[in-house]
Structure 1
Amino acid sequence: MSFMRVPVHGRGDSTLPLLLHGYAWLPNRLRETAGAPVRTHLLGHPAIALHGPQAVSFFYDEQNVRRSGAVPEPVLDTLFGRGAVHTLDGAAHRVRKALFLSLLKDPDGVAALTGDAVREWRESVAEHRGGAVVLFDTAAEALARAVCAWVGLAPTPDQARLMAHDCVAMLDGFASPGLRHLRARHSRNRQEAALAALITAVREGRQPVRDGSALAAVAGHRDVDGLPPDERTCAVELLNIIRPTVGITWFITFAAHALHRHRDLAEELRTASGRQLRDLSTAFAHEVRRFYPFVPFVGGVAARNLTWQGIRIQQGTMVLLDVYGHHHDPALWDNPYHFTPARFTADPDAVERIVAQGGGDPALGHRCPGEDITVSVLAAFTAELAHLDHEVPDQDLTIPLSRIPTRPHSGFVLHLAPAPADAAAGPPSRPGS
């Protein structure tokens, strides 16, 4: 199925309102029901939308909601890929998920990838000193170079640039009809084909591979049945490491937007160092993930006949968990529409209420195992941007809620100051270094 051939929608189908209103669609519907579950249809299928902390635990319980068969084909063919870990449940999911946990939860691996990303960013800044860059694009390319090397690839500069372009396209077009969606499909097909050929070469001994790398781990993985996934599925899972890392460029651009809007917070970061800088930049990263719009909601399918707060949910119904509204719920967050990183230094446990990358235990459920990488890289880039000598020229920095995923219209243009005479002294160390 593609967005060009969706079923004829019955009365009350919300597919068009969702496309028109984006992030505001579900919170608006929930306000109309005073937070009670919303019954609707999406893509012609019955759906129910839930909200609140209890809904998070309910949704991420595999006894209630399954992912197998739940992801619409347009999303599979652009964002996740067919056969991805996101589409599995039970033992099959846990065995495949263990592969990602071993790679993405290791503190040394997280630190190494963060350091590589910062180094690539600093090299890009040095190259463009005295000129202008679009932060969104420049950060995406730096992240692509870093993560490709980290997983064990050896891309040329042009290949890394193409990977950045294609990963951005996959994320940018998964929820949109028309040209953006077609670009996303084309980008995924191109990268899956290239990586599948690489996996084949590794398995046949024609391609050397670094021991301990993600490439080696994916190529040698065995699923719950003891058999290796086919090469295309391995390519899908490699992209499910690379693509989300490149996707941090959305959060980095939002961080720049927040630093520009809140000069006092930027100054606080600039004057901090050591442990204080690490704590402040990490809290800032958490608040970026909470405050700015990225994931509107997540979905699954009712695994059996369920009852939620006295409301019956028939097996097979699409179940949606409100994410954007959850992060702006005054019952969960003081002044939710104020950008306040201090909420996470005052209450470190508040981070557990963030569901930007899923909820529950990443080892047992569908919480993203790359969350630690996202937070680490975002915190490091926040510190880099706070210390960066630059100006923000006049540009369109509006963030339209009707667009999924959204970002500042301009991509956030930076005018970089010329290199100082004492440039050899180098930039400030990253948080935690």
Structure 2
Amino acid sequence: MSAFPRVSAPDSSLGLLSEGYEFISNRCRRLGTDAFRCRLMLAPAICVRGREAAEMFYTPGRFTRQGAVPATALTLLQDRRSVQTLDGAAHHHRKELFLECLSAESVGNLVGRFEREFRAAADGWQDEEGPVELLGELEAILTRAACDWIGAPVTGEEAEDRTREFAAMIDGAGAIGPRNWRGQRLRRRTEQWAADRVRAARSGAAVAADTPLGRLAAYEDASGERLDEAVAAVELLNLTRPVVAVARFMVFAALALHERPDRRAALTDGAAEESHAVDGARQAFAQEVRRYYPFFPAVGGKVREPFEWRGRRFERDEWVLLDLYGTNHDADAWDEPERFRPERFAHGGACPHALVPQGGGPLREGHRCPGEDATLALLRSFLGLLVDAVRYEVPPQDLSVDLSRIPAEPASRFRIADVRLIG
């Protein structure tokens, strides 16, 4: 049995904290491999990257997420007993609920709400004397849109509270220390809000049956039992919080347009006969934003049943980490991976094992994120608004992106000024 090379350090946790998104790729380059062994948080781990590794990792049924994500991240992201922690028939049955909630019609409703909220916010930005911090504004816009979409609309102070809580969960998920502690503290308030909404829906409150909240409140598992209130609340957050997280992709899209102004013309609405080309250009740009910019660095799994890959036997309960960021920048899968080139997606889709910002593999059978289509739809909408609905200036600021920070963001969180609504 061949063995993957091993990192010499007795534990690599500090390296992960200091290098962030580049931790796995840096060691792959150093060791001349796409798979290596190390210890993280004192536990043995196998780190892999690349298209072949993603195909191995996302083979349905091969890995479980149980025990594969540090508790500090798990409790801010999916949380215990959520769909991502299930396996087999239970996972498949619950995931069907998410796919129903994220149908094409439902995603269209979400996008419509986002566009209305964006235009209303941009109207207010016109009166701002100073710059507007785009990341924070987008988180607020998406919070209001997402809560309205799920069937639990929020306004005023409640909307501000939910925005603060969702943003803290996202910002703290990749951190150890104060950022994480803040996210954990605020999440408890959000879970109570979600549980109250589920309870009210089950008690006869006016909630449309085809909203995500209505579907969750009525959902029965494979044995015919309703989700208990706490689990239903967790899943309601797992439909809402990821929508707010799209703000980071949106800010990176704005950054990409700012740094590459020559790309703007292809994204602008033209004559009716050109609309298909514009839609395709926006889709390609959105895909390249998801590939090029950092979102979540890696995903973990524990082996369910032994298997062999590249001549090595993987034993039950071994911990494997797939490098998502590194796979999206893998030179074996992508031509000039460190260049931003939307035209690489000009002819449609991408290999599901090469483009993995939100996971890989088959959608229904595996753990690939059911919200990818929603992410792309929101990004296409945002790009359209950015080029056709507003004009703005980008004042001098620090737009660098620190890859040691998880989740990454522009240092200034992207400020815009002199906003004008034009369409």
The TM-score normalised by the length of structure 1 is 0.91
Distance apart, 1:271 and its partner CA: 6.0
Aligned with 1:111: secondary structure? helix
* Pair 1:410-2:409 in alignment: no
Distance apart, 1:401 and its partner CA: 0.5
Query: Which ranges of structure 1 fall in alignment gaps of 5 or more residues?
Result: 1-9, 428-433
The 2-side partners of 1:285 and 1:113 are apart by 17
Distance apart, 1:418 and its partner CA: 4.5
Question: 2:90 aligned to 83, 89, 92, which one?
Answer: 92
Q: Is the 8 A contact 2:191 2:233 kept in 1?
A: yes
- Residue matched to 1:150: 149
Distance 1:216 1:417, change over 3 A: closer
- Kindly report the root-mean-square deviation, in angstroms, between the aligned alpha carbons of the 2 structures: 1.6
Amino acid at match of 1:38: F
Q: Percent of counterpart pairs with the same letter?
A: 39
Question: 2:107 aligned to 110, 122, 138, which one?
Answer: 110
Instruction: Map residues 33-112 of structure 1 onto 2, 5 A cutoff.
Output: 33-104=31-102, 106-112=103-109
Aligned with 2:28: secondary structure? helix
Q: Is the 8 A contact 2:81 2:231 kept in 1?
A: yes
Distance apart, 1:57 and its partner CA: 2.0
Distance apart, 1:36 and its partner CA: 3.5
Query: Which ranges of structure 2 fall in alignment gaps of 5 or more residues?
Result: 1-7
Q: Is the 8 A contact 1:130 1:415 kept in 2?
A: no
Distance apart, 1:267 and its partner CA: 3.0
1:221-256 Cα deviation digits (max 9, x unpaired):
111222111111111001001000000000000001
Instruction: Map residues 11-410 of structure 1 onto 2, 5 A cutoff.
Output: 12-104=10-102, 106-131=103-128, 132-205=131-204, 207-270=205-268, 272=270, 274-345=275-346, 347-350=347-350, 352=352, 353-387=354-388, 388-410=390-412
Q: Is the 8 A contact 2:125 2:419 kept in 1?
A: no
1:67-114 Cα deviation digits (max 9, x unpaired):
23323221222122221111111011011101001111x211111111
Distance apart, 1:332 and its partner CA: 0.8
1:99-146 Cα deviation digits (max 9, x unpaired):
001111x21111111111011111100111153311101111111111
Amino acid at match of 1:278: D
The 1-side partners of 2:64 and 2:160 are apart by 36
Pairs aligned (count): 409
Q: Is the 8 A contact 1:277 1:383 kept in 2?
A: no
Distance apart, 1:62 and its partner CA: 3.8
Q: Is the 8 A contact 1:301 1:319 kept in 2?
A: yes
The 2-side partners of 1:11 and 1:321 are apart by 20
1:371-403 Cα deviation digits (max 9, x unpaired):
100000011101211232110000110100010
Amino acid at match of 1:169: A
Q: Is the 8 A contact 2:107 2:377 kept in 1?
A: yes
Distance 1:204 1:306, change over 3 A: same
The 1-side partners of 2:420 and 2:48 are apart by 51
The 1-side partners of 2:288 and 2:270 are apart by 18
Q: Is the 8 A contact 2:61 2:366 kept in 1?
A: no
The 2-side partners of 1:242 and 1:338 are apart by 32
Distance apart, 1:315 and its partner CA: 1.7
Q: Is the 8 A contact 2:61 2:88 kept in 1?
A: no
The 1-side partners of 2:126 and 2:414 are apart by 16
Q: Is the 8 A contact 2:392 2:420 kept in 1?
A: no
The TM-score normalised by the length of structure 2 is 0.93
Amino acid at match of 2:71: E
